[in-house]
Amino acid sequence: MNRHPTGSTIERPPQLKRLLDAPGRIRSYFSLMSIASSLRLDVIIPAAEKDLDVLPYAVDGVTANIKHPIGSIFVVAANSKAFQEVCRRKHCRFVEERSLYDMNPAEIDLVVNGVDRSTWIYQQLLKLSADTLAESSHFLVVDADTVFVRPQAFERNGRVILNYSDEYNQPYFEMYQRLLNEVVVCPVSFTSHQMLYDTTILRDLKRRIEAIHGCRWDEAILRNLDRRQGAGFSDYDTYGQFAFMHHPQKVAVEYWFNLSLARKRNLAHVRWLRFKYGRKYKSLSFHSYKE
Q: When comparing pLDDT for 105 and 30, which is higher?
A: 105
More confident: 74 or 279: 74
CA distance 15 to 185: 9
Residue 91 identity (one-letter amino acid):
H
199 closest CA partner among 139, 244, 250, 242: 139
Give the separation between CA 180 and CA 158, rounded to whole angstroms.
Answer: 26
Strand order across the 283-285 sheet: 146-148, 283-285, 258-260
pLDDT band at 181 (very low <50, low <70, confident <90, very high): very high
Amino acid letter for position 1: M
The predicted pLDDT at position 14 comes to 47
Q: Tell which residue, 129, 226, 131, 215, has the closest CA to residue 177.
A: 226
**31-35, 150-154, 189-193, 240-244: the lowest-pLDDT one:** 31-35
Q: What is the mean pLDDT of residues 72-98?
A: 97
Q: Quick check: 9 pLDDT over 50? A: no
Q: Identify the pLDDT of residue 180.
A: 98
pLDDT at residue 3 tops 50: no
- Please answer whether residues 210 and 216 qualify as being in contact, where contact means their C-beta atoms are separated by less than 8 angstroms: yes
Question: pLDDT tier at 225 (50, 70, 90 boundaries)?
Answer: very high
Enumerate the domain spans of the chain. Answer: 36-285
Please say if the pLDDT value at position 10 is more than 80.
no
pTM > 0.85: yes
pLDDT at 18: 53
Architecture of domain 36-285: Alpha-Beta Complex (3.90)
Cα separation, 68 vs 256, in Å, equals: 18
pLDDT band at 4 (very low <50, low <70, confident <90, very high): very low
Instruction: Look at strands 41-46 and 138-142 and give their pairing.
Output: parallel
Binned at pLDDT 50, 70 and 90, residue 1 comes out as: very low
Query: What pLDDT is recorded for position 31?
Result: 58
Other CB atoms within 10 A of residue 33 CB: 9
Q: How far is CA 65 from the centre of its chain?
A: 16
Distance, in Å, from the CA atom of 74 to the CA atom of 83, rounded to the nearest integer, reads 11
Question: Contact at 8 Å (CB) between 41 and 138?
Answer: yes
